[in-house]
A and B are shown apart, each in its own frame.
Chain A
């Protein structure tokens, strides 16, 4: 199966891994920072809404912001202390724009709220598991941060034949999932079994890139007898992408515009499984995660257990600071991560790594003309023509780029990585996607406005018609009354005449 699936996968690149920087550093906990900046928009979907106010005392794990709407996730206090601010704080986003954030001043006790975990989480019903996962604020920890409970509920309804656990970790530098699988394989497997129960999946495959033999061995030992299969997959970027991992493990493709559930597959990250286990076995909501601190500029790269809301700078400081001038700070991996323009932005649920990269590592020569070498075409895991798409976007012909498959682009960055002309291809595609969605929104808005205007016109017409009708009826009535009166008067006078 492995050879066959290898033949089926297309494209991909082999970036310099640099995982050796941090792969041998066991997970250790970052000391409690003084303040935590807990963002209310850490997930895909509607931001959570604060349920505490300034001055409130909170305990670790206490709900501080509730989920809003269908796709959203609650947020919990990551340590015990006092709420000192509820307001805007810079988000880990290239724009550096502020988002609603709750600031907690740690009291140093780091005292958990008292939980009453179920005696046997595996005895819970699938619905109950999903509910608890949702209440624990668990989102996809691979980076996308999609609320996990939403995925569980949708998948349970549509039916899942294969649950795939993503232990690919194909991004260079990142070793947080690797370390998690090596250091806590039992908890990860326990979490996987809970997810399996939640969606009633008959088959569970854990895909791990074959550059992590220790993780594969540890997970195999922990999975023995559970029915969970550990499957090594070739080390290739973007193996950790949902679409590519599904294809590598099952040979199936998600239909364009569809979801994994359409082919009976559900994909979760191994870090998410660990969080699910924490939430169900101990009642602990998602308030901490493993973060890889690495990059050529970091003195001692390591894997840290970090409270959500910890400023990135604290992580670098704990790793001995910088040994070299960092040319760029990145949150996430180097292929798809985002630049941190402000080192004090907080760690969020989706933060897999914080990197301090040197000039030599990022390599930023100026773009040259495209020589149509089609290295990007060979690298694209989706089967797109990046050079053609970029050429069309360059001249503003977004429609042609869409025809070439722009919307199928997964923004993995493989094309930009290999381009000998150093053309920022992904940048072009993201720009075009942003422009298109803005246009779509504008169009929807315009349509909505038009509809409203039409409805108003119709309403006004109707009102006018009703008024006219009422006036006419009144007139008719009045005329009838007058006629009756007149008739009556005439009758009366006639009667009088007759009487006279």
Chain B
């Protein structure tokens, strides 16, 4: 007869596809900047990651017997691959992107049950897997060679770099965090290793050695503010993550400047900015409440600082996020909103006479 309907008989003009599209729109500035900064190899790497994720997800949906089109069109797989691509070294070989993207959508997402079911952020899980499995390829950094620069690789050079295993002179560069860590292992402290390595303006604009789309701090910040303004994400996780890095960095540097990096290099290096605004805000793998997201974000930041300062790897964002992903259900268990008419513990408010 008629299908059963239910209130409300109206809906806000929003959908998952629209949420994902808005996040991707927010990623466009830093991505375009990355393309310009690292040229054709970056564009190729990004394209390979996107294509692999979509094909891989389509395949896995098909063998599960689930509808392929709606799942692909919601844009979640594309966004995962996009974020992964932004976190890769721009001159990495094609198979890094393929293996990473497939791991992200197939193992980290679909195996857990698909969209909304994954415990770990797929892009970060893939990045960690790649870093552990292929440490050489994942730490081959390229110095910025903007598309417009004379020494930039041309399209054919780029094909050789991405698909042919060809080498490029600029690939000898090291990231700031990698350099610092290497020097530490050689017993050189910050007062010697760090001089002249960090320029605040360059770091803010993103003209530095690093991952494909993680360097342009200001553009990432702009994208993040756009997402907060559009109410796609809240301020809690990003602000908390930046604080989680900044507060220990300030204290550490004040106590021992030769041992601990200052706050700005921490905030503007590696994946902290992208992590704060685009990874820690992943709805699926973060807590449900604003307060919970704050705790989660702060944990991400603090662990990032701890791993960078004491751990074996120069960069800690991906590890920190995965660790906090695992903690998110616990945070959700303890951080809940107070229910109307009840105390925080859930008991009914006392009845006051009159």
Binding site for B on A (CB under 8 A): 10, 13, 15-16, 94, 159, 161, 172, 243, 247, 253-258, 262-264, 328, 330, 334-339, 341, 355, 357, 361-365, 368-375, 377-378, 380-385, 387-388, 405, 408, 411, 413, 416-418, 420-422, 424, 426-427, 430
Q: Which of A13, A338, A372 contacts B116 (CB 8 A)?
A: A372
Contacts A258-B348, A264-B354, A337-B7 aside, 10 further interface pairs with beta carbons under 8 A come to A255-B348, A256-B339, A256-B340, A361-B9, A361-B10, A369-B114, A371-B283, A372-B286, A374-B283, A388-B332
Q: Which of A387, A405, A408 contacts B288 (CB 8 A)?
A: A387
24 residue pairs A–B, Cβ–Cβ below 8 Å: A13-B12, A15-B10, A94-B5, A247-B340, A254-B340, A254-B341, A256-B340, A264-B354, A335-B7, A338-B7, A355-B9, A363-B13, A364-B11, A368-B74, A371-B76, A371-B115, A371-B283, A374-B289, A380-B337, A382-B339, A383-B339, A387-B288, A388-B332, A420-B19
Q: Which of B10, B114, B340 contacts A335 (CB 8 A)?
A: B10
Q: A378 CB to closest chain B CB, in angstroms?
A: 7
Interface string of B190-213 (1 = CB under 8 A from A): 000000000000000000000000
A378 with B290: CB separation less than 8 A? yes
- Alpha-carbon distance between A247 and B338 when the two chains are bound, in angstroms: 15
A371 with B284: CB separation less than 8 A? yes
- Alpha-carbon distance between A418 and B289 when the two chains are bound, in angstroms: 16
B18 with A257: CB separation less than 8 A? no
B348 with A94: CB separation less than 8 A? no
- Alpha-carbon distance between A161 and B352 when the two chains are bound, in angstroms: 12
Q: How many A-B residue pairs have CB under 8 A?
A: 164
Question: Which residue of chain B has its CB nearest to the CB of A16?
Answer: B10
Q: Which of A253, A339, A374, A384 contacts B9 (CB 8 A)?
A: A339
- Alpha-carbon distance between A130 and B289 when the two chains are bound, in angstroms: 46
- Alpha-carbon distance between A334 and B11 when the two chains are bound, in angstroms: 9
- Alpha-carbon distance between A411 and B6 when the two chains are bound, in angstroms: 11
A159 with B354: CB separation less than 8 A? yes
Asked whether any CB of chain A lies closer than 8 Å to the CB of B4, the reply is yes
Q: B143 CB to closest chain A CB, in angstroms?
A: 38
A255 with B288: CB separation less than 8 A? no
Asked whether any CB of chain A lies closer than 8 Å to the CB of B351, the reply is yes
B8 with A369: CB separation less than 8 A? no
A-B pairs, 4 with minimum CB distance: A413-B8, A373-B283, A256-B348, A383-B337
Q: Which of B8, B115, B348 contacts A417 (CB 8 A)?
A: B8
B349 with A255: CB separation less than 8 A? yes
Q: B160 CB to closest chain A CB, in angstroms?
A: 40
B15 with A253: CB separation less than 8 A? no
Q: B194 CB to closest chain A CB, in angstroms?
A: 41
Asked whether any CB of chain A lies closer than 8 Å to the CB of B156, the reply is no
Question: Which residue of chain A has its CB nearest to the CB of B354?
Answer: A264
- Residues in B with CB closer than 8 Å to A388 are 288, 332
- Alpha-carbon distance between A381 and B341 when the two chains are bound, in angstroms: 11
Binding site for A on B (CB under 8 A): 2, 4-16, 18-19, 70, 74, 76, 114-117, 234, 283-284, 286-290, 332, 336-342, 346-354
A263 with B351: CB separation less than 8 A? yes
- Alpha-carbon distance between A405 and B290 when the two chains are bound, in angstroms: 19
Q: A485 CB to closest chain B CB, in angstroms?
A: 75
A416 with B354: CB separation less than 8 A? no
B15 with A408: CB separation less than 8 A? no
Question: Which residue of chain B has its CB nearest to the CB of A383?
Answer: B337
Q: Which of A257, A264, A369 contacts B115 (CB 8 A)?
A: A369
Q: Which of A255, A369, A417 contacts B11 (CB 8 A)?
A: A417
Question: Which residue of chain B has its CB nearest to the CB of A384?
Answer: B339
Q: Which residue of B10, B346, B350 has the most chain A CB atoms within 10 A of its CB atom?
A: B10
- Alpha-carbon distance between A368 and B18 when the two chains are bound, in angstroms: 13
A255 with B341: CB separation less than 8 A? yes
Q: A318 CB to closest chain B CB, in angstroms?
A: 22
Given contacts A13-B12, A418-B12, contact A341 B116 (CB under 8 A): no
- Residues in A with CB closer than 8 Å to B289 are 374, 377, 385
Question: Which residue of chain A has its CB nearest to the CB of B293?
Answer: A374
- Residues in A with CB closer than 8 Å to B115 are 368-369, 371
- Residues in A with CB closer than 8 Å to B352 are 262-263
**Main DSSP-derived SS at the A contact region:** loop
Q: Which of B11, B234, B337, B354 contacts A422 (CB 8 A)?
A: B11
Question: Which residue of chain A has its CB nearest to the CB of B8?
Answer: A413
Question: Which residue of chain A has its CB nearest to the CB of B113?
Answer: A369
Question: Which residue of chain B has its CB nearest to the CB of A173?
Answer: B10
- Alpha-carbon distance between A377 and B234 when the two chains are bound, in angstroms: 12
- Residues in B with CB closer than 8 Å to A328 are 5, 9
B288 with A253: CB separation less than 8 A? no
- Residues in A with CB closer than 8 Å to B288 are 372, 374, 377, 385, 387-388
- Alpha-carbon distance between A365 and B73 when the two chains are bound, in angstroms: 14
Q: A329 CB to closest chain B CB, in angstroms?
A: 10
- Alpha-carbon distance between A105 and B252 when the two chains are bound, in angstroms: 87
A172 with B10: CB separation less than 8 A? yes
Q: A260 CB to closest chain B CB, in angstroms?
A: 11
- Residues in B with CB closer than 8 Å to A370 are 116
- Residues in B with CB closer than 8 Å to A365 are 15
Given contacts A361-B10, A365-B15, contact A377 B337 (CB under 8 A): yes
A369 with B339: CB separation less than 8 A? no
Q: Which of B2, B7, B76, B340 contacts A253 (CB 8 A)?
A: B340
- Residues in B with CB closer than 8 Å to A336 are 7-8
Question: Which residue of chain B has its CB nearest to the CB of A381?
Answer: B340
Given contacts A374-B289, A377-B289, A427-B6, contact A369 B14 (CB under 8 A): no
B16 with A421: CB separation less than 8 A? yes
Given contacts A357-B9, A371-B115, A416-B8, contact A384 B284 (CB under 8 A): no
B354 with A363: CB separation less than 8 A? no
B341 with A94: CB separation less than 8 A? no
- Residues in A with CB closer than 8 Å to B351 are 255, 258, 262-263
- Residues in A with CB closer than 8 Å to B11 are 362-364, 416-417, 422
Q: Which of A264, A334, A382, A421 contacts B10 (CB 8 A)?
A: A334
- Alpha-carbon distance between A131 and B76 when the two chains are bound, in angstroms: 62
A371 with B16: CB separation less than 8 A? yes
B9 with A334: CB separation less than 8 A? yes
- Residues in A with CB closer than 8 Å to B19 are 371, 373, 420
Q: A459 CB to closest chain B CB, in angstroms?
A: 41
- Alpha-carbon distance between A380 and B289 when the two chains are bound, in angstroms: 11
Question: Which residue of chain A has its CB nearest to the CB of B350?
Answer: A255
Q: A199 CB to closest chain B CB, in angstroms?
A: 13
B10 with A371: CB separation less than 8 A? no
A422 with B15: CB separation less than 8 A? yes
A384 with B337: CB separation less than 8 A? yes
Q: A98 CB to closest chain B CB, in angstroms?
A: 16
Q: A497 CB to closest chain B CB, in angstroms?
A: 92
- Residues in A with CB closer than 8 Å to B353 are 264
- Residues in B with CB closer than 8 Å to A422 are 11, 15
Q: B175 CB to closest chain A CB, in angstroms?
A: 32
Question: Which residue of chain B has its CB nearest to the CB of A341?
Answer: B2
Q: A307 CB to closest chain B CB, in angstroms?
A: 26
Q: Which of B9, B347, B354 contacts A362 (CB 8 A)?
A: B9
